[in-house]
Amino acid sequence: MQTGKMVNQVIATQKKLFDNSFMTVTMIQDQTEKIYGTTLSKMPWVTEENRKVLDDSINQYKEIRTDFKKAMDSGFEQMENVFTAK
């Protein structure tokens, strides 16, 4: 019983570390996106078509980032369930 509790504490610590790291990476990516937008708006030779392709890439990585976070949260939840079920 104690082993399960200790393992859950380790999992909780790892989840908190992941969440903090993920939040930091997300903040950096969002800030980079803002800089990108400002920079591109100052470049008249970048066409709307080119900008749309770049914007689509940004939206795609945001979706992937969200899917990754959901998968990690699900994995942590499953690990917690394994050790609390016993």
16-35 pLDDT tens trace: 999 999 999 999 999 999 99
Task: Give the predicted TM-score (pTM) of the model.
Answer: 0.82
* Residue 46, pLDDT score: 84
C-beta separation of 11 from 84 below 8 A: no
Task: Report CA dihedral (72, 77, 83, 86) to the nearest 10 degrees.
Answer: -150
CA atoms of 65 and 71, how far apart (whole Å):
10
Contacting residues for 7 by C-beta, under 8 A, at least 6 apart = 83
